[in-house]
Amino acid sequence: MEKRGEESQAPLLEPRPAAAENGGSDMVGEGGAEEEEVGLGRQLLEENRKLWAVAGPSICTRFSTFGVTVISQAFIGHIGPTELAAYALVSTVLMRFSNGILLGMASALETLCGQSYGAKQYHMMGIYLQRSWIILSGCAVLMLPIFIFTEPLLVFIGQDPTISAVAGTISIWYIPVMFASVFNFTLQMYLQAQSKNLIITYLAFVNLGLHLFLSWLLTVKLHLGLAGVMTSMVIAMWIPAFGQLIFVLFGGCPLTWTGFSFTALTDLVPIFKLSLSSGVMLCLELWYSTILVLLTGYMKNAESALDALSICLNINGWEMMISIGFLAATGVRVANELGAGSAKRAKFAILNVVATSFSIGLVLFVFFLFFRGKLSYIFTTSEEVAALVADLSPLLAFSILLNSVQPVLSGVAVGAGWQSVVAYVNIATYYLIGIPLGAILGYVLGYHVKGIWVGMLLGTLVQTIVLLFITIRTDWDKQVEVTQERLKRWYMDGNNGKSDSRSSP
């Protein structure tokens, strides 16, 4: 099992074999012939149907979940500038920190469940889900001290003491939200892999509407201030967690959920290794913008700069929900096709989703260039902050354009199980190129927030180019073989025994 990482990385830059160039290997020959008979138009219709079956509900769900954070920011922003700056620190530093770890580690479940579903190893999906609950719950417990001691930690790294004190209060409220995320993330990955997304979407919209109502009631009507907003957030985040659990446990997934099993306590080490590489991959991406916020916090007039930057990052975050929806859909489509043994359909799915996501990103790029800082008044009444947002808007627009491609390529990595490879790419492009360039432009050359952001954008651009090159040069027929070997190694039959069979249960 220790060789799993090497096997999944080896084929990435190998030249394509002649068989692949001539229509694929024996493993995909049947699917390739069927695609040639059907024609390009029919292929596009069928692929987009499968894509949007996952991407549509996933985007709606991400919008709704992110909307909870933005609604909270909007209400807190009208409580006071110090509270808004503190919430910006918590949401862009601590929330991204914990969500990066939990969502990243949950993406291992997306790889395993997606490939198992494609291979018709249905009952293994429930076992993988239970293993992920164990691993992610342990990680959440290990992160508790960071949220308990947020205030002294922020003061220690040089953040404003007044802002840090309020941030410490908000972080304590965030602890139950973090544990809700353990179930939300894992259940979403599990349900997405089998295209059972509608239940997630319904619960997400109930969650969003209830949070809006409760935030208004507790903050505006009952004048509970910060406590009112955070109480509403805790309630809102647990609603989808309980709803999805009830759906899964009480008959919503009869093929893939066969009950709790002691088998989930076995093979935890290889699952943990894949989860860890997944967590590192996504953390390095999410923490990238976190460092942007921390570097901004050291500048003069930090409160206004943080307010403006947090507004830009939240607007950028709305668009990112579309890209993350496509990331999830890409992961599912690639994993399903690799699990089913079709390299050709996996490649076609990647081309389709990259083109679709980039087209949407291009439209939004033009939109945000046109509106510039006008959207900032949703979050603040300060003219100074609105002017700073308008000044940063061109960088925001370029971030949105890059975000339409880069997360999709990360989704390819999730579907194929390359998370550890992408982690190395992220380290090189983000932390050896983007952040040093940003620090030089921002502090040494005096371009302040804009300089930091430009440097980090260049890092993202390099990362996108590298991931695109890796994806194009990948031997997908070899990836099918690696996937089949992984599924065979971890497969257990319906009686909880090891089996070499890869057939449907």
Average pLDDT across the chain, whole number: 79
Band of residue 104 on the pLDDT scale cut at 50, 70, 90: confident
**Higher pLDDT pick, 196 / 275:** 196
10 Å CB burial of residue 22 (0-12, 13-18, 19+) is exposed
Residue 18 has pLDDT above 50, yes or no: no
What pLDDT was estimated at residue 19?
37
pLDDT in tens, 284-312: 666 666 676 666 665 555 566 667 777 77
pLDDT digits (tens, 9 = 90+) for 332-361: 888 888 888 888 888 898 999 899 989 988
Residue type for position 487: L
- Backbone torsions φ then ψ of 221, nearest 5 degrees: -85, -45
Q: What pLDDT shows up at residue 83? A: 85
Tokens of residue 249, six digits: 């446990």
Per-residue confidence at 116, pLDDT binned at 50, 70, 90?
Answer: confident
Our separate counts of H helices and E strands in the chain read 20, 0
Residue 35, pLDDT above cutoff 70: no
- At residue 160 the predicted structure's pLDDT band, cuts being 50, 70 and 90, is confident
Q: Is pLDDT above 80 for 405?
A: yes
Instruction: Using the predicted structure, report yes or no on whether residue 72 has a pLDDT greater than 50.
Output: yes
223 touches 82 (CB < 8 A): no
Region 309-318: what's the mean pLDDT? 74
For CA atoms 432, 434, 437, 440, the dihedral sign is negative
Crossing angle, helix 161-192 and helix 198-215, to 10 degrees?
A: 150
Give the pLDDT confidence of 406-421 residue by residue, as tens digits: 888 888 888 887 877 8
| 184 pLDDT more than 50 | yes
Predicted local distance difference test score (pLDDT) of residue 158: 79
- Which band of pLDDT confidence, cut at 50, 70 and 90, is reported for residue 25? very low
Task: Summarize pLDDT for 237-252 with one digit per residue, the tens.
Answer: 899 999 999 999 998 8
Q: Is 18 exposed, middle or buried (0-12, 13-18, 19+ CB in 10 A)?
A: exposed
Map tokens 């509970």 to a residue.
224
For the segment 471-489, what is each residue's pLDDT rounded down to a tens digit? 988 888 888 888 888 777 7
Half-sphere exposure of 73 (CA within 13 A, CB side): 29
Q: Give residue 443's pLDDT.
A: 76
104 in Cβ contact with 280 (< 8 Å): yes
Q: How far is CA 204 from CA 28, 68, 188, 246, 441, in A?
A: 38, 10, 11, 15, 40
Q: Is 138 left (phi over 0), alpha (psi -120 to 50) or beta?
A: alpha
Whether the per-residue pLDDT at 274 is higher than 70: the answer is yes
pLDDT at 236 exceeding the cut of 50: yes
More confident residue, 504 or 180: 180
Q: Which of 27-31, 40-44, 179-183, 367-371 has the highest average model confidence (pLDDT)? A: 179-183
- To which H or E segment does residue 411 belong? helix 406-416
Evaluate if residue 462 carries a pLDDT over 70. yes
Whether the pTM exceeds 0.85: the reply is no
Q: How much is the pLDDT for 289?
A: 66
Q: Is the pLDDT of residue 197 over 90?
A: no
For residue 217, give Cα distances in angstroms to 174, 227, 231, 232. 20, 12, 11, 9
The whole-number pLDDT of residue 14 equals 40
Cβ(458)–Cβ(52) below 8 Å: no
Of residues 255 and 451, the one with the higher pLDDT is 255
- Residue 303 pLDDT: 61
